[in-house]
Amino acid sequence: MGLLVALHKPGVSESVRQLVALLEGLGIEVVMTAEVANLLDRQNATPVEELAKTDTLIALGGDGCVLSAARLAAPHNVPILGVRIGGFGFLAEVELDHLEDAFKKFISGEFYLDERMMLQAELWHGENLVWSAIGLNDAVILKSPVSPLPLWEVFVNDELLARYPADGVAIATPTGSTAYTLSAGGPVLAPDVDSFLLMPMYAHTLTLRPLVLPSKAKVTVKLLPQRRPVEGEISVDGQVNCQVLPTHHVLIFRAPFKAQIVRFYGSSFYERLRQKLRWGERQ
């Protein structure tokens, strides 16, 4: 198994040791990066890209670590098992206190794979591809802090949808609908809904609303020139970024592969909604 670790998490050192000891005690070989190997005083390190060549990729940390793991593992059809270290999360499946039981179930095949749609974002300058990234949650295009209010031109399948006077535009997968776009007032999409969410971010008009699009749609976003210099930035999953200028256009579409997240029977998306968002509870 490959091991990807969110090394910034408090208490991560002891969690790594606990996890590796458990896996090796169960007869499982663990492939780790140099940073994790150094933490354990070991020599058997491998480049992070090689983790996607294992049979399963363990993401130890939280949802952010699962997002990083998805970019590595999804193109290679490698399942991801998220182990959570504290905090709020929808994607990391296993709590540290339940590690041994979870891995015994995993070894015996008592699990299923939750397939999640991913998106691909591309930045173009004319006919030249400048930048590309894949993501599990979202692609968010926002103005820079010093830029004036921009006007975003948004196309769906090459047809003009609208010109948005807004801080930005977000395109989210169903998985990403419970992340950044939720905090901005967007709807929650069940993960098996085959669609994208197109969300104006902090629009300066009351008429613009979130739009649910079929997953086969291709969304193009352009930053229109202004009298004053304007620029923006695209961020995929809040982890991979690139500058956006009026000479660029951004293309977002469904990636040709899906993330496969290990789930154990007895847990569900709706249960996580109740637990994480506390739906129906009195304050």
238 pLDDT more than 90: yes
228 pLDDT more than 90: no
Q: What is the mean pLDDT of residues 83-93?
A: 81
Contact assessment for residue 255 and residue 134, using Cβ atoms and an 8 Å cutoff: yes
**pLDDT-derived band at 276, boundaries 50, 70, 90:** confident
Answer yes or no: pTM beyond 0.85.
yes
Q: And the tokens for 264?
A: 């154990």
Our CA angle for 276, 12, 240, nearest 5°, is 70
Domain architecture of the chain: domains with CATH: 2-111+264-277 (3.40.50.10330), 118-256 (2.60.200.30)
Q: What is the mean pLDDT of residues 169-195?
A: 91
275 pLDDT more than 90: no
Distance CA 131, CA 2 (A): 27
Our CA angle for 15, 74, 220, nearest 5°, is 120
Q: How many residues does the chain have?
A: 283
**pLDDT-derived band at 280, boundaries 50, 70, 90:** low
pLDDT for res 265 = 83
Catalytic, out of 41, 63, 101, 194 = 63
pLDDT for res 283 = 58
Residue whose token pair is 């098996």: 192
Q: What is the mean pLDDT of residues 87-110?
A: 86
Burial-class residue 159 by CB neighbours within 10 Å (0-12, 13-18, 19+): exposed
252 pLDDT more than 70: yes
DSSP string for residues in 92-118: --EEGGGHHHHHHHHHTT--EEEEEEE
Which residues, including other chains, have CB under 8 Å from residue 31's CB and lie 6 or more apart?
A: 1, 2, 3, 44, 46, 50, 51, 54
Q: Is 237 assigned a catalytic role?
A: no
pLDDT for res 203 = 82
88 pLDDT more than 70: no
pLDDT for res 5 = 94
Contact assessment for residue 250 and residue 123, using Cβ atoms and an 8 Å cutoff: yes
Q: What is the mean pLDDT of residues 227-256?
A: 95
pLDDT for res 281 = 67
- Mean pLDDT, the chain, rounded, equals 91
**pLDDT-derived band at 82, boundaries 50, 70, 90:** very high
